[in-house]
Chain A
Amino acid sequence: MADGIKDKVAILGMGCTKFGERWESGVEDLMTEAFLECLADAGIEKKEIQAAWLGTCYSSLHAGKSGIPLGTALKLGYIPVSRVENFCGTATEAFKGACYAVAAGVYDIVLALGVEKLKDTGYGGLPMAGAFGYIEFLRGANSTAPGLFAQLATAYSSKHRIEMDMIKDAISHISAKSHANGALNPKAHLQKVVSEEMIKKAPMIAYPLGLFDCCGVSDGAAAAIVTTPEIARSLKRNQDIVKVKSIQASVSSGEEAWFSNWDGTGFVTTRKASARAYEEAGITDPRHELNMMEVHDCFSITEFVTMEDLHISKKGCAYEDVMNGFFDLDGKIPCQVDGGLKCFGHPVGASGLRMIYAMYEQLLDRVPEIRKIRNARLGLTHNLGGFPHANICALTIIGKD
C-alpha cells in the first residue's frame, strides 16, 4: 500500500539566482548560477549526481526542448536528464521527479533545476501564442492572464456580497505586504516598498487589477539536490535536515470551464491538492500547524482566494484574515516571505523551486534577522498554472523535525 512521500527524501542543497530583468544573462548563465550555489550548498561533487530533472515552460523562447540544454550547460557527464513542463507548476514537477526517483530507491542523489528566460519577448506579460493549442486561436476569447484572473474578483464579489471596493482594499494590502517583504531580499526582482494608496491609484491592467496587482515577469533559475534522509544526515552531521513532507498536484477536469458547478470564486484544484497534501504530511489543522507559505500570487486576487482554497481562511472570510495581517511577515502564517511572485519575480519554470528555496532558507535559519520567521518548522509552497477555469495546481510541504 502506497503511503506517500513523507520523510522519504531530504534536501541536500539548494541554489537560486537573483530574479529580475537579467538582460546580461542567457538561459545557460541562469542554470549555471543556480546550480553552482546548489552544488556548493550540498557539499558534494558534481559526479555524485546520478540523474537530473529540468523544468522549463516557455522553452521555445530560450532553451528549446528536451533535457539537452541542462546536460550541456552544466556538463553533467552523460547522466539521464528528463525535461518536464506543467505551466507554473513546472519547477515543482521537476522537484517531484527528482524526489520520486530517490524515494523509489532508483538513485541516491538527484538534481532538480527550473529555469525561465522571459525577458526576450520585447513586450510585457507572458506570451500567449500556442500555450493552449491551436483550437484556442479559433474559439478562445481574446484574453490574457490578468483578465482571466481578474474575473475571480467580479465572481467573488457577486457570490459573497463583498463590494468591489473592499476587494480592492484587500488585494492592495496583499501587494503592499509582498512589496515590503521583497524590499528585504537582495535576490528579489522588485525591491521597493509601495503604499496601498499607490497600488490603488496605479493604471488598470484588467479590471479590477491594476499594475501593482500583477506579478513581475522575470528571468531566473532555482535548483535543489535531493537525497535520502540517511545520506543527508551522514553528509550534514551538524545541521538540521530539511525533509519533504508532501508533494501533491491536481489538474482541472473540465467542470470549471464547461459545467455549471463552479462559481468562479476560487480554485477547485487547490482545494483538492491541499487537502491531499495535509493528509500526506499528517497535518490535521493547517491554520495552526503551518508556519509559513509561498503561494502562487501571479495576481493579488489569486493570493486572496487561495487563502480559502488552502483551507487556511474559511470560505468568504479571506478579507478579514488579510486585513487583520494574518499573512503579514509578523502575522500567524507569513505568506510570500521572500516577496512572492509579486516581487521576487516569476520566471515560470523556476518559481516552484524558488518557493521551496525560500522555505528551505527559513527552516535552516539562513535569513537575516529582519525577515526571519521564528520557530519555523513547516512551510508550504503552492503553484497554480493555467487559468482559474482550467489549471494545474502543484503543492509541496517541507519541514524539519
Chain B
Amino acid sequence: MTGICSYGGYVPRYRLNRKEIFEQVGWVNQATIGYTRGEKAVCNFDEDSITMAVAAGIDSLAGFDRTRIKGLFFASTSMPYKERLNAGIVKEALGISDQVRAADFSGSIKAGTTALLSALGDVESKYLDNVMVCASDCRLGKPSSPQEMICGDAAAAFVVGRDDVIAEFEGSFSTTYDFVDHYRGDASLYDRQWEERWVRDLGIDLMISETISGLLKKYNIRACDFTKVVYPCIYPGVRKKLNSALGISPKADQDNLQAEIGETGAAHPLVMLASVLDQSKPGDRILLAGFGSGCDALCFRVTENIRNLSHRKGITGFLKEKAELDNYTKYLAWRGILPVDTGMRSEEDEPTRWSVLWRKRKEITGLWGNRCKRCGTAQYPQQRICVNPECQAADEMEDYLFSDKTGRIASFTGDMLAPSLNPPAVYGQVEFDGGGKYLFDFTDCNLETIKTGMPVFMSFRRKYRDEKRKISGYFWKAVPRIEEE
C-alpha cells in the first residue's frame, strides 16, 4: 500500500487583518473592498518559503524517524534561490540523511500536488522508500492589488511511504495547459493577474471540472463518494457552481481557509489537505486537486493507522497560535516592499563564505551539536574537547541533534541598538532540556511576554539578508512557548 504516512503543517504566527490593509492603501483601488473579509497569515521578517517548509517538515516528523526519509521534494513558487537547491537547504535543516534524492518543484501553484504525485510514484515503484514533500509559499501582491488581499503564507509537509500508511493513494488524473491566469516574469517581485472573469470562467470552472471529472471517470467513482473534496478557489460563486455541477455536497466541500490564512500558492491544496487530515477518520475518502497551468487531481482513502498517529500541531494547532500584526507598514518593511533605514550598523558588508558554511553545515543549518561519549554532556556548538571541566575528553564526541530539543530561557534582553526589522532585537541564553547551552536570537515573541524559565522550542529562520548579493542566510532561533505559560 502506498500513501501518506505522516503529515504536518505550519502557519506563521502573525495575521494581518484585511481591513487594516484596506484602511492603509484601499484609497488606491476602492474595488479591493470586496476582499476585506478575514485576515491573512504573514511571515515574520525572518521567515520565507524555506523556513516555513522546514517548520512544516518538523511538524510532520512527529513520531516519524527522520533517518527513514530517502527523498525530499520541495514545492514553491517563491523559492529564495534560483540556483542552489532550495530542497538541499531544507534537507540539511531537517537533519535527514545525506543519501536522499532531493528536488525543487516550481513554476506553477500546482507544483505542490505535482511534487506529491512524483513522491507517490517513486514510492509506489519502489525507487524510494519514504519521501517527504514540503510545500510552502509566500507570494507578494503589489500594495493595493487584489493579490495583496488574497495571498497568505503557510506550508504543509507529507511523508509518503509504504508502511503504516494513514491515507492510501488510490489514483490521480492530470491535465496541463499553457493557461496564463497569472504570472511572474524573470525579475518581477509581484504576481500579475489577468481579468478575474476569465480566470474564474475559463480557468477554474473549466479546468478543475475537466480534471476532477476525468479522475471520477478513470476510476469509475462519484464525487458524492468523497468525505472531503479539497481544491483551491477563492471565489464563492464559482465554488458553488462547480460543486453543484460535479455533485459535491456543501458538507464535503473543504473550507479554503481564505478568511484565516489566505491563498498560499503551491502549498495551498496541501495546506487544505493537512487541515482535513486533522479531522479525518478511518474510511474517509478525500479528493485533492491542485490548479495552475492545468490541474492535478488525486484521491486517497484514510486508514485505521490514522488513530495511531503521534500528536502534532498541524494546521489546526498553528491556527490557534496567532498574534495580530496591526501595522501595515511593518508588513511592508518585513517583506522588503518598503525600504527602511536600520542604521549604519546594519550596513557593514559581509559576504557569505561558502567554504565555511560547507564545513559547518551540520552545525549551522542542521543545529547539530555533539555529546561526549565519556561523560554524556550534550554541547553546542560542536566541540573537539569536552566542555565539561570535570571531563575534557578529546575527540570522543558523537553527533547530537539540538533542533528537536526544547529548552528554557536562562537570561534575555531586548536590544534597541542591534539593527532589526522588528526592534527591539530579543535574544538570550537558552539551556536545553537534556543539556547544552547557547545564546540564541528569539523570535515570534515580544519582550513584554517573556521571562526567565519560560520554555522554548527551536525554529529555522532567516539569519541575514545580503542585499548586495540578493541572497539569504539561515540559522536557528528560539521561540518562547508563550501559550504554554
Contacts and interface: CB of A to CB of B under 8 A. Distances in A.
Interface of A: 121-125, 127-129, 134-135, 137-144, 146-148, 150-152, 154-155, 158, 203-207, 253-255, 257-261, 263-264, 389
B417 interface: yes
Contact of A138 (B414, B425, B473): B473
- Give 7 closest A-B pairs by Cβ, nearest first: A147-B415, A151-B411, A155-B411, A150-B413, A141-B427, A206-B415, A158-B452
Contacts of B89: none
A154 B360 contact: no
Given A138-B475, A142-B425, A206 B416 contact: yes
B416 A141 contact: no
B452 to A, nearest CB: 4
Interface stretch (B19-27, B115-123, B284-292, B435-443): B435-443
Contact of B417 (A121, A134, A205): A205
18 contacts: A121-B344, A125-B417, A128-B348, A137-B464, A139-B463, A141-B439, A143-B439, A147-B413, A147-B427, A154-B411, A155-B452, A203-B416, A204-B414, A205-B416, A258-B379, A259-B437, A264-B410, A389-B439
B438 A142 contact: no
A151 B388 contact: no
Contacts of B389: 253, 255, 259, 261
Given A125-B345, A258-B438, A142 B410 contact: no
B424 A206 contact: yes
A257 B437 contact: yes
B343 interface: yes
Given A128-B345, A259-B437, A151 B383 contact: no
Interface of B is mostly: mixed
Contacts of B360: 135, 138-139
A138 B427 CA distance: 15
A57 B383 CA distance: 28
B383 A254 contact: yes
Interface stretch (B237-245, B296-304, B328-336, B349-357): B349-357
B229 to A, nearest CB: 45
A257 B438 contact: yes
B364 interface: yes
A148 B428 CA distance: 8
Of A124, A139, A264, the most chain B CB neighbours within 10 A belong to A139
A270 to B, nearest CB: 17
Nearest to B410: A264
B395 to A, nearest CB: 16
B270 to A, nearest CB: 31
B419 interface: yes
A123 B410 CA distance: 31
B413 A259 contact: no
B175 interface: no
A79 to B, nearest CB: 37
Interface of B: 343-345, 348, 350, 353, 356-357, 360, 363-364, 377, 379-381, 383, 387-389, 410-420, 424-425, 427-429, 431, 435-441, 447, 452-453, 463-464, 473, 475
B439 A135 contact: no
A151 B344 contact: no
Contacts of A148: 413, 439
A152 B429 CA distance: 11
Contacts of A124: 417
Contacts of B425: 141-143, 147
A142 B441 contact: yes
A391 to B, nearest CB: 13
B417 A146 contact: yes
Contacts of A154: 411-413, 428, 452
Contact of B412 (A129, A151, A203): A151
Contact of B431 (A123, A135, A260): A260
A142 B413 contact: no
Contacts of B380: 258
A138 B344 CA distance: 20
A354 B202 CA distance: 80
A389 B429 contact: yes
A144 B410 contact: no
A258 B417 contact: no
A69 B345 CA distance: 27
A259 B429 CA distance: 11
A138 B351 CA distance: 11
Given A141-B441, A155-B410, A260-B431, A207 B436 contact: no
A105 to B, nearest CB: 36
Contacts of A139: 360, 363-364, 381, 463, 475
B197 to A, nearest CB: 48
Contacts of A155: 410-411, 429, 452
Given A206-B415, A259-B388, A123 B438 contact: no
Nearest to B440: A141
A138 B413 contact: no
Contacts of B475: 138-139
A151 B413 contact: yes
Contacts of B383: 254, 258
B445 to A, nearest CB: 13
A372 B452 CA distance: 43
Contacts of B436: 258, 260
Given A138-B475, A142-B420, A147-B417, A255 B387 contact: yes
B372 to A, nearest CB: 11
A260 to B, nearest CB: 6
Of B380, B388, B437, the most chain A CB neighbours within 10 A belong to B437
Contact of A143 (B350, B379, B427, B463): B427
A129 B187 CA distance: 32
Contacts of A122: 344
A392 to B, nearest CB: 18
A123 B364 contact: no
A259 B364 contact: no
Contacts of A204: 414, 416, 424
B348 A138 contact: no
Contacts of A123: 343-345
Contacts of A129: 348, 350
Given A143-B427, A258-B383, A207 B439 contact: no
A152 B411 CA distance: 8
A143 B344 CA distance: 15
B177 to A, nearest CB: 44
Of A138, A144, A146, A206, the most chain B CB neighbours within 10 A belong to A138
A267 B417 CA distance: 23
A147 B419 CA distance: 12
Contact of A144 (B412, B415, B452): B415
Contacts of A203: 416
A316 to B, nearest CB: 16
Contacts of A158: 411, 452-453
Given A123-B343, A150-B415, A207 B379 contact: no
Contacts of A207: 413-414, 424, 447
B88 to A, nearest CB: 17
Nearest to B46: A142
Given A143-B425, A154-B411, 9 more contacts: A129-B350, A135-B356, A138-B463, A139-B363, A150-B415, A151-B428, A258-B379, A259-B379, A264-B429
